[in-house]
Amino acid sequence: MIDYGFARYGWDDKKKSMVCRDPRWGRCFESFSEDPNIVREMIEIIPGLQGEIPINGRKGVFFVDGQTKIASSAKHFVGDGGTTRGINENDTVIDFHGLLSIHMPPYYHAVRKGVATIMVSYSSWNGVKMHRSKELITGFLKNILKFRLKLITFMHL
């Protein structure tokens, strides 16, 4: 059990939402696919882990259906599967449209499915460490996708 200040639940931190674009990347085996559509489809596991959000339920509000379900996680936000030369913790050099079309679909889908936590990547996007990217974390993830639950960093683990 992990307590991140919102309650005590079992927590699945194994679900990877990254899209591995370079097989030289040492963590490529953690990705479901190099195809963002396949990775997006694999995100369907979230309701199986947490339970289905009730029809009248609000999205973006923490929901785990009973004691037999666990909180799920999408990680590592965003683009770590596209780092230059496949080097772990490196820089993903891609324009915003490429980031949205290749690396973002699994996260968009995870938020729609009610994922409880999103772990932020330790890599960079165009030279900016993801943990410092107000544009992507606050601007896109929180304001555009409306993710309101828990962001996890490696500092928390």
Token representation of residue 142: 């929180």
Residues in the chain predicted with pLDDT less than 50, given as ranges, are: 1-6, 156-157
CA neighbor of 106 nearest in space, from 26, 15, 25, 21: 15
Query: How many CA atoms lie less than 13 Å away from 66 in the CB half-sphere?
Result: 7
pLDDT value of position 60:
64
pLDDT value of position 132:
93
Place of tokens 């696919």: 33
Q: Is 9 helix (H, G, I), strand (E, B) or coil?
A: strand
Domains and CATH numbers, the chain: 2-156 (3.20.20.300)
pLDDT value of position 93:
97
- Answer yes or no: are the C-beta atoms of 77 and 121 closer than 8 Å: yes
54-63 pLDDT, tens digit per residue, is: 888 877 667 7
Q: Is 22 helix (H, G, I), strand (E, B) or coil?
A: coil
39-54 pLDDT, tens digit per residue, is: 989 988 998 999 988 8
pLDDT value of position 8:
56
- Calculate the CA 26 to chain-centre distance: 19
